[in-house]
Amino acid sequence: MHALPEQTRPLIRLRDYRAPAWRVETVELDFDLGIDATELSARLLLRRDPAQNAPLRLDGENLQLLSIALDGEALPATAYRMLDGTLEVDGARDGSVLETRVRLRPAANTALEGLYLSGSREAGFLLTQCEAEGFRHITFFPDRPDVQARYRVTLRADRDRFPVLLAGGNPDGCGELEGGRHWASFVDPHPKPSYLFALVAGRLDRIERDYITADGRPVQLKIWAEADVIDRCDYAMDALERSMRWDEKVYGRNYDLDVFHIVATHDFNMGAMENKGLNIFNAKYLLADPDSSTDDEYRHVEAVVAHEYFHNWSGNRVTCRDWFQLSLKEGLTVFREQSFSADMNSAPLKRIEDVSLLRRAQFPEDAGPLAHPVRPAQYSEINNFYTATVYEKGAELVRMLAGRLGEAGFRRGMDRYFARNDGRAATLEDFLTALGEANDIDLMPYLAWYGEAGTPRLKAQGHYDAARREYTLSLSQHAPGPANQPSRPPLPIPVKLALFSHDGEILPLRLNGESGDAPVERVVVLDQQQQQFVFSGIEQVPVPSLLRGFSAPMMLECSYTPAELALLLRHDIDGFNRWEAGQQLATRAWENLRDGADEHALQAWCDALAGLFDDATIDDALLADLLTPPGEIELAEGENAVDPQHIHELRQDLQRRLASRLGIDRLRSRYLALAAHTTIALDAASQARRRLKRRTLELLERLDPSTAATLAAAQYRDAPGMTDRLAALGVLLRSDVEAAQRALLDYRKRYAGNALALDKWFALQAQVAGDAALGRVMKLEQDAAFTLKNPNRVQSLLGGFVRGNPSGFHRRDGAGYRFLVERLRALDALNPQVAARLATAFNGWQRLEPVRRAAAKAAISDLAGQTALSRNLAEIIGNVLNH
């Protein structure tokens, strides 16, 4: 075993939680803002827990302490001490007032945590990012989510350099100062944790709209951005208003301040941040226009705007007691966001999108050395736990609870949860208790889901008794990990199901002993290790459709025949399960090619899709998804010795077989019919046509690269918007090198001043498969627009390569691994959070085939031997290497 670097040794454990010995009732912050140096005076009204006899300890990092006073008296150096990121002060009592003044260095802050500069010194602006532990980089404070205080903030700055001054809460005055300076004050009437503090100062333009909440409160909605992109914020404003109306209608939640600000920045480690009254957004999730944004990006803008707004209640008014409860706010809010997006768009397509992301990002995380429960038992660096497990799997657990309670029951439970915990820092136990009590159901058994790492398996087997006209469904659950591990109590698993006849008719579902009308779909709860469910009145051997809507985040094992999967693909009325049957059948078809075995599954998959290709009753976007087999990451999950290049080649062959079954003429004809309706409209039908047009062109490329390249070149030239333009460019990159180079040069020139469009240009090239990808990425690093200091640019090029290009990154010679290690060293010195996230690309290296596995281990070990790694990166590398 490799000894972990010293930076990873301190562990914070859930079992060690103690309520804070000192709380802060009110906070007064007074900023004198500057780019190179900002000075901050803080005044804290302290409250002591009489049950604890602990000295006053405040968190603080990278702060220059200028002065300190307690109850109006300056403290001598002997009355306080700073050690290991804490300030310990003698003599404090309940009701004491602590005053400090510190100096910050925003321009030197490349970690983008705390107060920092976004953009250039001449034109950029100051902003903050405090979640999870950034506030300790701003002032000395008990920087933990269960310390909630009321904030009064005053900002002072040069008016010409910082004409816009914003902070969380309601505005509480502004005015002029001598020397061309001005001030603005803000008061937040709601207690909040320090991670929700925010300020913004600089030259920004805005759009605004008046809004009246359902309970009659007038609110000013304002979106701020730099002048050259403010015209791309209108869609986000519309999305914000839709989100507010939806939350009022579905959850009864109204906004509670007089103003709601959103600010866009190109320099942000996260997607967006829900600071109370002052949301700060990575520009990629706020700016949108047809020329530079794809249909997917429009949906992402809508979803992220909604997500951050919904946090106003699920995260802000009710926050988490400690960071172990992170999914209480994030998993719940992702579920709320997903439900909103499903209502605004297509529910089946949204479910497919969400489960695809879960399998692409979270399932591999659960299967590798970085696996952890939704509520981890311990951590060293909390920033490393903003993961797919906490967010996406956490949302699936909330979805299970919502499905168990039904729409009305879940609403009753959420009403009780918000009412009981408003203004509090809550736990998962508080959440389950409120939901359960509101419905007279004990939901505490579901807590076990939050404490288990890995993806459990659901095994299903059916038996039909013709004489009794009964169908018995046997279900069993199996914990993740080795079969010989200690057993654990069974989880409660809601299994939504339906039965189909062999002519595709959905059958009534009557459990033995029931009378009256029988539903055609129902939920059974598997809460034992194995159970049987007997359905009566079944006239023939049925085909089960299980985990409909993905009712539980599990791997389903059921011995379907290819013909049965093809039947569900053709006839299931649940759009998600129709797609799911196609994914399972496509995986079987891929296995046919891998094993050189009979091709029954391959033929069944191709024949079923050929029969659906011209079916006018199928939504174009759903058909595009049905025509898309599982990705290389999902296919690799079923392999014991992963060879990414071989997986890529087999998947390409699989698509070629499908394209051949459909035929050049049908593909070309369908493409041209779709292209005849080219538009930039954002309605569902137009987006669906663009989606299917892209997929038909990609399949045509597999069969006839020359024809596909000709069509793609014309599509790129005539594209009215980014969706069509980017789809065409992707096909050209794989089919016609010369035409692709011309298009790339045109794109680079066209979008030279558009940072988000250039991110797509970098990412698309980084994701072109094969060994040549590494050389291409290294060449792109020399482009004048590339920088390691911008998280979006790093994720587009380096992230696109190491996470979005398995065959390119996992070169057999290990060059991709050595490249990543070198870039991680450089990134870690600039921005540890970005470095740590990029390092997760090494997750799962143990499952690579032997040659690649040895090369990956050597590269990881080399990095782990460094003594100067940040705590963020050291924890990831230590876990990857030693688990």
Centre a 10 Å sphere on the Cβ of residue 883 and count the other Cβ atoms it contains: 12
Rg, the chain, Cα only:
28
For the chain, the residue count is 883
Of 557, 579, 628, give the one whose Cα is nearest residue 351: 579
Phi-psi region of 169 (alpha: psi -120 to 50; beta: other; left: phi over 0): left
Give CA–CA dist 848/639, Å, rounded: 9
Give CA–CA dist 695/692, Å, rounded: 5
178 Cβ contact partners less than 8 Å away, ≥ 6 residues apart: none
Give CA–CA dist 194/216, Å, rounded: 29
547-578 in b/e form (b: 16+ CB < 10 A) is: bbbbbbbbbbebebebebbbbbbbbbebbbbb
In 3-state terms, what secondary structure has residue 779?
helix
Q: What letter would DSSP give residue 21?
A: S
Q: How far, CA to CA in Å, does 457 sit from each of 454, 460, 489, 841? A: 10, 10, 14, 25
Of 486, 494, 407, 482, give the one whose Cα is nearest residue 446: 494
Give CA–CA dist 24/47, Å, rounded: 6
Reading the block at residue 145, the tokens are 């989510």
Amino acid at 125: F
Q: What letter would DSSP give residue 807?
A: H
Beta bridge partners of 223: 207, 262
77-113 in b/e form (b: 16+ CB < 10 A) is: eeebeeeeeebebeebeeebebbbbbebbbbebbbbb
Q: What letter would DSSP give residue 506?
A: B
Q: CB of 703 within 8 A of CB of 660? A: yes
Alpha helices by DSSP H, listed for 218-345, are: 234-251, 295-310, 326-344
221 Cβ contact partners less than 8 Å away, ≥ 6 residues apart: 208, 209, 210, 211, 237, 240, 241, 259, 260
Reading the block at residue 198, the tokens are 């925010």
Residue 728: cis peptide before it, omega within 30 degrees of 0? no
504 Cβ contact partners less than 8 Å away, ≥ 6 residues apart: 567, 570, 571
Task: List residues with catalytic annotation.
Answer: 308
DSSP assignment string, 815-879:
HHHHHHHHHHHHHHHH-HHHHHHHHGGGTTGGGB-HHHHHHHHHHHHHHHT-S---HHHHHHHHH
Name residue, tokens 């960071």.
Answer: 323
Give CA–CA dist 170/94, Å, rounded: 29
**Angle, vertex CA 488, rays to CA 485 and CA 492, nearest 5:** 135
Question: Helix, strand, coil proportions of the chain in percent (round to 5)?
Answer: 45, 20, 35
492 Cβ contact partners less than 8 Å away, ≥ 6 residues apart: 404, 445, 446, 525, 526, 527
693-720 in b/e form (b: 16+ CB < 10 A) is: bbbbbbbbbbbbeebbbebbbebbeebe
Alpha helices by DSSP H, listed for 345-393, are: 347-357, 363-367, 388
